[in-house]
Amino acid sequence: MNLKITGMHDFKVSQGYSAETSGGILTMMDPSKAKDFISESKEKYGQTVWQVGKVVKGDRRAQILPDVETLNIKESPFEH
């Protein structure tokens, strides 16, 4: 991921060091429940939800893979 915004502090998101979620909610759940959670969030609340990763056994470090896809979200249904 090579995303650079001029004038913005480098929070090292692409290296997996930042706790920023840009106002979103990051949650963990059993993978078998993810599909239903995504569908229900859209149907009941109109909120688009993405599955962004998985927890695996390792050395307790976050890793962002080289083929990561960056999504630019232009508007929120909750903005006034």
The per-residue pLDDT string of the chain (80 residues; one tens digit each, 9 = 90 and over) reads: 455 556 656 666 666 666 655 566 778 889 899 999 999 989 998 888 888 888 888 888 877 888 888 777 766 555 54
Distance of CA 33 to the CA centre of its chain: 17
Is the CB of residue 31 less than 8 Å from the CB of residue 54?
A: yes
CA-to-CA distance for 53 and 43, rounded, in angstroms?
22
pLDDT for the residue 80:
45
Is the CB of residue 62 less than 8 Å from the CB of residue 16?
A: yes
Size of the chain in residues: 80
